[in-house]
Structure formats: C-alpha cells, structure tokens
Structure 1
Amino acid sequence: MKHLILLLLLGTGFSSYAQKSDKEPVNVPAAVTKSFQQQFPKATGVKWKLKDNQYKAEFEKHDVWYDATGKLVKQKEDVKDADLPAAVKQAVQQQFAGYTIHDVDKHTAGSTVTYKVELKKKPEERNVTFSADGKVIKNELDKKDKKDKKDKKDGAQ
C-alpha cells in the first residue's frame, strides 16, 4: 500500500511539473511590450513565447518576433490568396499549373517580404516560398506526402 501511494504521488508530481513547464509565463521586457503595443495597439488574445532569445507574440492571424531591445525582427501574417502580388499569382499559374492555392503566409524580415504558399494538386501538397517579384525561393513537397509515398513504395516491395 505504501508503494502504491508513493507511485501515485510521484506520478502526480511529474504530471504537474510537465504541465507547469508547458504553460510557464514568459517575462516579456518592458521595451518589447512597449514596441508591440505601439505597432499593434488593437491586438487581442496575445500569447507570448520565448525561443532563441526572441520574444514571439501570437495573436489573431499574426506572429511577430522581437529581440530583447524591442526591435521587431520578423513577422508572419495569414493573407488571402487574392492579396498576393500579381507576380506571385502569375508564377503559380505558370509554374504550378493544376495546383490550387490553399493557404498563404506573408513573411517580413527587415525590408524583405516573401510569401509561403501551400499548393494542392491531388494527391500531393507543396510548400513554395516566393519572393515578392514571383521568383521561387524554396519548393518543398509536403512532409506528409513524402511519408505517404515512401510507405506506398515500401508496401509494394
């Protein structure tokens, strides 16, 4: 009986520790908070995370990263495919005929703007990153599709 009680206490302790570490509040520096409030005064439901010495604020359809001095390092926002630059739309039509646009994220780092576009054409999905002038920067087959193709290949042997 003593062992059972001990095991229950240990189990509860580990469970509590795991939950606490996942939801531990981030101590956001005043400079970061001030910059964020100036740049996004109407933001609601903001969740902060700290990773690699950058403070990430997640809210609405945005993610923004700040350094400890409050300088905006980069940002990502969900945009509608209708809001893509004409050059990117044209590149999709010419280089990815038959694919449909599923999701678009606009990434800004300094003065560089890129668009990560999720393209679908059954049975595959691609994640393609374009420069604002429509040049392909990165073209990746979705990881899930790679695994599915490998599983089918392994099953055929």
Structure 2
Amino acid sequence: MKKFINYCLALCFTISLYNIADAQVRKVPAEVTEAFRQKYPSALNVEWRDRLSGFTAAFDQDKVHYEAKFTNKGFWQSTENKIEDANIPGGVKDGFQKSKYAEEWNIKQAYKIDLREAKTQYRLDIQKNDIQKKQLFFDSTGRLLRDNITL
C-alpha cells in the first residue's frame, strides 16, 4: 500500500511539472504578435506557445490548421501544416522510395514546411514499430536533407 501511495505521489508530481513546463512563461512581445498579424491577417483561433528561443502560433486559416514559428524579435522562421498522403509531391514520394527507409518503414504523417526565401521542405514522420520512429526532411525535389529520431 505504501508503494502505491508513493507511486501516486510521484505521478502527481510529474504531471504538475509537465503542466508548469508547458505553461506560457512570459507574455508574447508586441513585435511578435504584430509580425504574425501582418503575415496572417485572416488567422482564426490563434494560440501562442513560448518556446524560450521564440514563439509558436497555432492557428486556423482557410479551414487548414497551421503552426508558425517566430523569433523573440518577431522574425518569421517557418510555417507548417499537415498534408494528406495524396498531397505529398511526387518528388518527395520518390525520394522516400529511394531512401534506405522505404522497405521497412511506413509513413504515418506528412507536413509541408514553408521557410524564408520562399523555400519549402516536407517532413515525413515514419515508423518501423512502436519504438522506432523518425522524421525525414526533404526538399521539394525529393532530396533527403536530414533525419531525426523521435519519441
């Protein structure tokens, strides 16, 4: 019984720490909100998250959900949105099929990432099993730029 109570207390403590860490630490600076308004004037349901090195705005526009990242000074860095498998460009699909991951890994989700200087990347969240998961980043031509291990 004592172990159960200790376990419950540890669980409550962990949940509390997670909620504190995920909370908005500071107010979003005016230059960040103004830069967001200029870039996305028709955005709806805007929610801000503080990432210490910058801010992320989650919002809806034209019935699509987006996440835009800004620096602390209000400079836009990137915007990403989830895309359906059917909307993954042919070059990116081809790049995945030619990669070492094509045989044993499956695409779980795909994202389009708009970057500065009118560049676009695509992120494929892939999974081999419940434990092995990765993110693959491709340019618009289907060239694999990098891969990241995820949890």
Deviates more, 1:65-74 or 1:94-103: 94-103
Higher relative contact order (CA 8 A, sep 6+): 2
Output the TM-score relative to the length of structure 2.
0.64
- The structure with the larger Rg is 1
The one of 84, 100, 106 aligned to 1:80? 84
In structure 1, stretches of 5+ residues that fail to align are: 1-14, 144-157
The 2-side partners of 1:99 and 1:71 are apart by: 36
Aligned pair count? 129
- Aligned equivalent of 1:107: 113
Output the TM-score relative to the length of structure 1.
0.62
Q: Within 5 Å, give how 1:78-157 maps onto structure 2.
A: 78-95=82-99, 96-97=102-103, 99-111=105-117, 112-120=119-127, 125-140=133-148, 143=151
The one of 61, 66, 70 aligned to 1:66? 70
What secondary structure is seen at the aligned counterpart in 2 of 1:45?
strand
In structure 2, stretches of 5+ residues that fail to align are: 1-14
- Residue 20 of structure 1 deviates from its aligned partner by 6.6
- Residue 104 of structure 1 deviates from its aligned partner by 0.7
More strand per residue: 1 or 2? 2
The 1-side partners of 2:57 and 2:45 are apart by: 10
The 2-side partners of 1:41 and 1:50 are apart by: 21
- Residue 26 of structure 1 deviates from its aligned partner by 4.0
**1:35 and 2:35 correspond:** yes
- Aligned equivalent of 1:8: none
- Aligned equivalent of 1:149: none
| Distance of aligned partners of 1:91 and 1:23 in 2 relative to their CA distance in 1, 3 Å threshold | closer
The 2-side partners of 1:140 and 1:69 are apart by: 27
The 2-side partners of 1:83 and 1:117 are apart by: 12
The 2-side partners of 1:130 and 1:19 are apart by: 33
In structure 2, give the amino acid aligned to 1:118: D
More helix per residue: 1 or 2? 1
Deviates more, 1:92-101 or 1:132-141: 92-101
Question: In the alignment, is the contact (CA less than 8 A) between 1:26 and 1:48 conserved in 2?
Answer: no
RMSD: 3.3
Question: In the alignment, is the contact (CA less than 8 A) between 1:26 and 1:49 conserved in 2?
Answer: no
| Distance of aligned partners of 1:119 and 1:47 in 2 relative to their CA distance in 1, 3 Å threshold | same
